[in-house]
Chain A
Amino acid sequence: MNKILSLLSIVTILSAQSLEWSNDYNKTIREAEKEHKTVLMMYHASWCPECGYMKEVVFHDLKLQEYMTKHFKLLAFDITKDKDKLPKGYSFLGVPTFFFISDQGKMITEFEGSGNAKEFLKKIKGIK
């Protein structure tokens, strides 16, 4: 019984870390076009506690993960470390900022800030 419980908790931990973020803009847009998905691009920074909260808490919510994986191609840039990689045309005031980009590479909408998993899911639902 204990072994099963440990196995279950390992599976839970692994699945909670399963969001995969690319940091190759062009490749992600090409993949989005193939898969007819919207790109969710996050600008974040290691010094930003609000970004840390999103990455360490909110994005560990399984329901949210499931929705994000199903509907979006995920792209993320650290605005400090990836400074030279930031794609042109996406202005921002602060981080975290989330951009939603069509499979044709056109921006659909964007918003800044965090929220709990439920709030974030509500915000991103319906963005296509």
Chain B
Amino acid sequence: MKIIKGIEIPLTICVSYTIISLGAALFELLFGINTTTHTNSLLMFIWTCIAVLTLSIHYLFDNWPPILMILVQYIIAMGLVLLSVLIFSFITHDHVTEYLSIFLSFSIPYAIGATCFYISVFTYAKKQNQLLEQIQKTSKKS
């Protein structure tokens, strides 16, 4: 068996927790035990997938201004979230009326996550660009 160490420990915990939670939620929903907790677990998972997939299509908007790109990605993500809620409302026979609550539940974590993600990527690139600029300027002078 592979030894789990270092960064693999929190990753393994996250994956195991996700599998157990989703497995339990799906199992209970299949057997007709329909609780809000199970529906929420599945919806949270779907929304997380939507958010991650939407962020990962960043390269399609390479030539767009960053703000417009983030806005478009958010609209795509929000559209998919509302669609998932609509589909879920037919499956679970729960008519979701709290759209404002769903909008906020998704928007706030998405905004925080997207901001952190882009700040780290752009900061890294900015730092490298500054270094390059300094190197190229100094080498021209010499």
Q: Do A and B come from the same complex?
A: no
